[in-house]
Structure 1
Amino acid sequence: MKLTFIAAALASFAMLPAHAALTNDVADLYNPLSVDFESYDGFLTSGPEMVAPGITFTGDDGSQLGANIAVLGTNGLWGVGNFFAASGFIGELRFTFADLTAGAGAFVSHYADDVLPFGIVVSAYGDNNQIIESYTLSIDTDEFGYNEGQFVGITRDIADIRSISFKGNAVVLDNLAVATPVPEPETYALLLAGLGLICMAARRRMS
C-alpha cells in the first residue's frame, strides 16, 4: 500500500510543470558554455548559421553576426573593441540547441529613448516551437556608456529548452551562455562503482 502511494506521488510530481526563473547571473546556469561572435565581421544573415557546435542562430532580415557598432539611444553605444550579434531595428535573435538545456542567456542591451521605451522580450521555447517561458524587460544604461548592458537568462529545473530568443528594438547581445547537462544520478552511481572497483584492486595489490 505504501509503495503504491509513493509510486503515485512520484508520478504526480513528474507531471508538474518545470519551475522556471529569470536570472541576471550567469552563475545560475550549470557549467555554462560561452559563445562570442569575434570570429564574425559584419556578417548580415538571417541564418541558419551554426555559431558553435550544436548551437544554431536564426534572426530577422536585418540581423548581423560580428556587428561592430550599434547606436542604442539612451543606452549608449556598443562596438568599442568587440564584435557582437545585432538584430534589425525591430527584430529577433534566436539560438537553437541540438541538445535540450536547462538554462540559457546572454549579455544584452537594446535601443531606448523617450518615444520607444519598449525593451526586450526574452522567450524560451521547447520542442515543437512552443513558448514555455517569456519575460518582458527594459534595460537602462548610461546614455554615454560603451558596451553596457545586463546578463539576462532563463533557467529551468529540467532540460526542456530547445531555443531562446531575444526580441525588441535594435537588440544587441554577446557572450551567449548555455547550461551544460547536469549528470544523471545513474552517472554518479556508475562513477562511485568504478571508484570502488579501483580501490578494491589497489588493496589486493598491496596485500
Structure 2
Amino acid sequence: MKLKFIATALASFAMLPAHAALTNDVADLYAPIVADFDMYDGFLTSGPEMVAPGVTFTGDDGSQLGAFIAELGSNGLWGAGSTFAASGFIGELRFTFADLTAGAGAFVNHYADGVLPFGLVISAYGDNNQIIESHTLSIDTDDFGVNEGQFVGITRASADIRSISFKGNAVVLDNLAVATPVPEPETYALLLAGLGLIGMAARRRM
C-alpha cells in the first residue's frame, strides 16, 4: 500500500510550527477519543450530528453516517463487516471539537481511477475557522481489496485545531481519532502533591 503525497501545506506553510506533521500512526495522538460510526444505520445527513463526546460532524449533501457499502474504483470496496462515514461523490466530511486539540485523524480511503487518481485533501482549521494546515494526497490500494485504506492525521505542536476535514472524491473513513489534551506540568505537580497528602493521611491513621 502506498501513500503518495502530492502537495504539502497548501495554506500558511511558512507559518507552521516546527512540529506540525501529517501522521500515518494513530499512536501519535495522545489518549484519543474514537468515533467508529457503529451506532448509525445508513443515516443520510449533512449534520450537525454529535458522533462522540465533544465531536460534531457536518458534511455536504450526500454524506452518510453508518454507510454499509462504497465502491472506490481502483481502490477496491468498503463495507465488509463494519459501518463507516462516507461523503457524496465529491464532498467533505468535517469534524468539529468542543475543545481545541493537538491532533486528529481517521482510517480513510477514496474513489480513484485513471481520471481521478488524487482524491483526498485533509485540512485542520483553527479557532477562527481558518485553515492552519492542509495536505493533498492519494491513497493507492488494491483494485480487489476490501476495507483497505490508511490512517491519516494531523498533529500540531500545540492544541490549536478546532476542526478537521476530509474532502475529495467519494471519501470514506472510520475510527476517527481525536487527541485529548496533554496534562500540563502544573497538573502533574498538583496530582503528585495530592497523592503525597493522601499518603500522609493514610500513615497518620495507622
Q: Return the TM-score normalized by structure 2.
A: 0.89
Residue 171 of structure 1 corresponds to which residue in structure 2? Answer: 171
Spell out the pairing of 1:26-41 with structure 2 (5 A cutoff): 26-41=26-41
Spell out the pairing of 1:79-118 with structure 2 (5 A cutoff): 79-118=79-118
Residue 56 of structure 2 corresponds to which residue in structure 1? Answer: 56
The one-letter amino acid of 2:115's match is V
In the alignment, the residues of structure 2 paired with residue 29 and residue 178 of structure 1 have an alpha-carbon distance, to the nearest angstrom, of 7
In the alignment, the residues of structure 1 paired with residue 144 and residue 93 of structure 2 have an alpha-carbon distance, to the nearest angstrom, of 25
The Cα offsets for residues 109-166 of structure 1, whole Å up to 9 and x where unpaired, read as 0000011112210000011100011011100001001000000000112111000000
In the alignment, the residues of structure 2 paired with residue 71 and residue 119 of structure 1 have an alpha-carbon distance, to the nearest angstrom, of 14
**Structure 1 residue matching 2:140: 3-state secondary structure:** coil
Q: Return the TM-score normalized by structure 1.
A: 0.89
**Residues 110 and 120, structure 2, Cα contact 8 Å, conserved in 1:** yes
The Cα offsets for residues 60-88 of structure 1, whole Å up to 9 and x where unpaired, read as 10111111010000000000111100001
Per-residue deviation, 1:186: 1.2
In the alignment, the residues of structure 1 paired with residue 89 and residue 39 of structure 2 have an alpha-carbon distance, to the nearest angstrom, of 23
Spell out the pairing of 1:1-207 with structure 2 (5 A cutoff): 18=17, 19-206=19-206
RMSD: 1.3
**Structure 2 residue matching 1:192: 3-state secondary structure:** helix
169-178 vs 196-205, greater mean Cα deviation: 196-205
Residue 4 of structure 2 corresponds to which residue in structure 1? Answer: none
In the alignment, the residues of structure 2 paired with residue 27 and residue 96 of structure 1 have an alpha-carbon distance, to the nearest angstrom, of 21
**Which structure: greater strand fraction?**
2
Per-residue deviation, 1:200: 2.7
The one-letter amino acid of 1:48's match is P
Gaps of 5+ in 1: 1-15
**Paired residues, number:** 191
Q: Which structure is larger by alpha-carbon Rg, 1 or 2?
A: 1
The one-letter amino acid of 1:82's match is S
Per-residue deviation, 1:197: 1.7
Residue 3 of structure 2 corresponds to which residue in structure 1? Answer: none
In the alignment, the residues of structure 2 paired with residue 201 and residue 58 of structure 1 have an alpha-carbon distance, to the nearest angstrom, of 50
In the alignment, the residues of structure 1 paired with residue 205 and residue 94 of structure 2 have an alpha-carbon distance, to the nearest angstrom, of 56
Per-residue deviation, 1:205: 4.1
The one-letter amino acid of 2:114's match is D
**Which structure: greater helix fraction?**
1
